[in-house]
A and B are shown apart, each in its own frame.
Chain A
Amino acid sequence: NAGVMQNPRHLVRRRGQEARLRCSPMKGHSHVYWYRQLPEEGLKFMVYLQKENIIDESGMPKERFSAEFPKEGPSILRIQQVVRGDSAAYFCASSRQGRAFTEAFFGQGTRLTVV
């Protein structure tokens, strides 16, 4: 199921720059989930979106992070003024239905490195 596409696969940013991570869900999927994996930690939930709506952002840091899933185009996770602690792998998953996570499929992730 290589249908969930994340790009770029690797992203290097200097401290203070902005990072934009893209996630194109599988065809027919309108639910997107973002997770972050910090070194030596598990996958941490960040945000769950439907088209044009943020359903659950309980895992999003309060500042500098935002996410959107427009009617057309990929879901975007935006990190403003990146810091070294933002270096991590960011994964997205998509599903056809909400509340049916076992039907979700993951992308290959974007590895963000802040230098």
Chain B
Amino acid sequence: AQSVSQHNHHVILSEAASLELGCNYSYGGTVNLFWYVQYPGQHLQLLLKYFSGDPLVKGIKGFEAEFIKSKFSFNLRKPSVQWSDTAEYFCAVNSAGGSYIPTFGRGTSLIVHP
């Protein structure tokens, strides 16, 4: 069975600080990887995804994530956060060609102070 670990449960940053949220998964086969964001009071939205190809994936709002297969990781980064990035961030994985239903991590709550 696949599983996802998000190590940072709560992150507090000041505006303009750099962000990196960790995500590790456990699954022996080929995977698809996702980051979702949930802004306060809103629904989950897809931030970015990795299926294949370039392991550095760029998403919306200046976010990017890098797939490192040898480390089973898919960390989310942003060079300079804004107050509007305050949200809950979820990493998810599904097995390519297998169970297409993603497994989600616990989530990371990000608070950005102006």
Residues of chain A touching chain B, judged by Cβ–Cβ distance below 8 Å, are 1-2, 4, 33, 35, 37, 40-45, 48, 56, 91, 93, 98-102, 105-109
Task: Determine the chain A residues whose CB is within 8 A of the CB of B43 once the complex forms.
Answer: 1-2, 4, 91, 105-109
Which of B41, B42, B104 is within 8 Å of A43, CB to CB?
B104
Closest to A40 in B: B106
Bound state CA distance, A40 and B106, in angstroms?
A: 7
Task: Determine the chain B residues whose CB is within 8 A of the CB of A33 once the complex forms.
Answer: 101
Task: Determine the chain B residues whose CB is within 8 A of the CB of A35 once the complex forms.
Answer: 104
Which of B32, B34, B41, B94 is within 8 Å of A108, CB to CB?
B41
Could you write out 23 A-B pairs with CB less than 8 Å apart? A1-B43, A4-B43, A35-B104, A41-B106, A42-B4, A42-B6, A42-B105, A43-B104, A44-B104, A45-B101, A45-B103, A93-B44, A99-B100, A101-B100, A101-B101, A101-B102, A102-B34, A102-B46, A102-B49, A106-B36, A106-B43, A106-B44, A108-B43
Task: Determine the chain B residues whose CB is within 8 A of the CB of A40 once the complex forms.
Answer: 9, 106
Which of B45, B49, B106 is within 8 Å of A106, CB to CB?
B45
| B67 at the A interface (CB under 8 A) | no
Residues of chain B touching chain A, judged by Cβ–Cβ distance below 8 Å, are 4, 6, 9, 32, 34, 36, 41-46, 49, 90, 92, 94, 100-107
Besides A42-B90, A45-B102, 14 new A-B residue pairs in contact (Cβ under 8 A), listed by A number: A2-B43, A35-B104, A42-B4, A42-B6, A42-B107, A43-B92, A43-B104, A43-B107, A45-B101, A45-B103, A91-B43, A101-B100, A102-B46, A108-B41
Interchain pairs with CB closer than 8 A, number: 52
